[in-house]
Every structure is written in C-alpha cells, then in structure tokens.
Amino acid sequence: MTINTARTTATTDGDVTVFLIGMRFNSLWRPDRWGPVAVAMPRMLNHLVRDPDAGLLHHEQWFGRTTISVQYWRSPEHLHAFAADADAPHLKPWRDFRKLGREGHVGIWHETYVCPPEGYESVYVHMPEFGLGKALGTVPVGPGLATARQRLAQTGAPVDAADGEIR
C-alpha cells in the first residue's frame, strides 16, 4: 500500500451517491444465522468490482460486532438497478435474510445519500488512496483549495464557520 505524502482532495465534478450498509451480530453464538448474511456481501462486492458498468465506483469496509461498508456509486439509479437485478447476487440473499432476520440473531442496516458537488469536500494527507478520493480521483491541494471553506467554495457550497476557517 503506497502512502501518498502530498495533500490532495477528491475531484468534485458531479453528484456521487454514498451508500452505507452493514450488519450487526445480535447473537454471537448463532453463526448458523448470521453466517449466510455475512458471506453475501463479499459476493455482491466481487460481482460489482468485476462489472464497472453496474455503477459502483469504490468501497471500503470495517468489521466488528456491527460492520460497515461505505460504497460510492455513480447514481442512485445504478444502486437501485443492482438491487433489483434478478441476475445480480442481491435479491436471493435479501429474500433469505427476510426469512432468517425475523428471529433477530442478525440485524442489517443501510443509509443512502445523494451528494451534489456542492455538498461534499475532502482532504487526504499521508494516506493511501482512500474513500471518496479513490472513487473519484484526487488533485493536489494548492492555492484556492487549502481549506475546507475554499474547497466547498469551488462548488458553490455554503460554509458557516463561527470560529474561523474549517480545515
């Protein structure tokens, strides 16, 4: 993993759909109930990585009792099309979960955000490619992009910082 020592920011030339999804192990002693749910997400992500036309730009994952996958999509339409595609590996695990999930041994959750360019900004310092920057690409932070206020101003987003510059 290469650490980029430059200070960079994600490019902001269009909307991005951010999809957060995860699961929670409510009954750690019941892997027979949460195991099928846990193995479904890697299959879905592998499918999406192999099919860039599906619209997934990038994803990051963290694991614990409550897991999280942060996904960056081209549009909500791409996300919805994948979810409804009978040939994609989503509908069957969802239907299986609806049967298993009634018992409460495992929980799932998701949140979807459609972010216009004026609604997001980012900065990366001493980081490998990561998150939104990996999804959209990055540019060096230079004059006019040094602070969060300036990066948001590039896209016309309002920024209100009562205690001065947001960095």
At residue 61 the predicted structure's pLDDT band, cuts being 50, 70 and 90, is very high
3-state secondary structure of 35: helix
Instruction: Flag whether 64 is in a domain.
Output: yes
CA torsion sign, 157 to 163 to 164 to 167? negative
Whether residue 10 is contained in a domain is answered as yes
What's the total number of domains in the chain?
A: 1
pLDDT tens-digit profile of 92-137? 777 777 776 678 998 999 999 999 988 899 999 999 999 999 999 9
Give the C-alpha separation, 106 to 59, whole Å. Answer: 22
19 burial type by CB count under 10 A (0-12 exposed, 13-18 middle, 19+ buried): buried
Write out the residue range of the structural domain in which residue 37 sits. Answer: 1-161
- The answer to whether residue 153 sits within a structural domain is yes
Q: Is residue 166 part of a domain?
A: no
- State residue 166's pLDDT score: 43
Single pTM value for the model: 0.86
Q: What CATH number does residue 65 fall under?
A: 3.30.70.100
91 alpha-carbon distance from chain centroid: 20
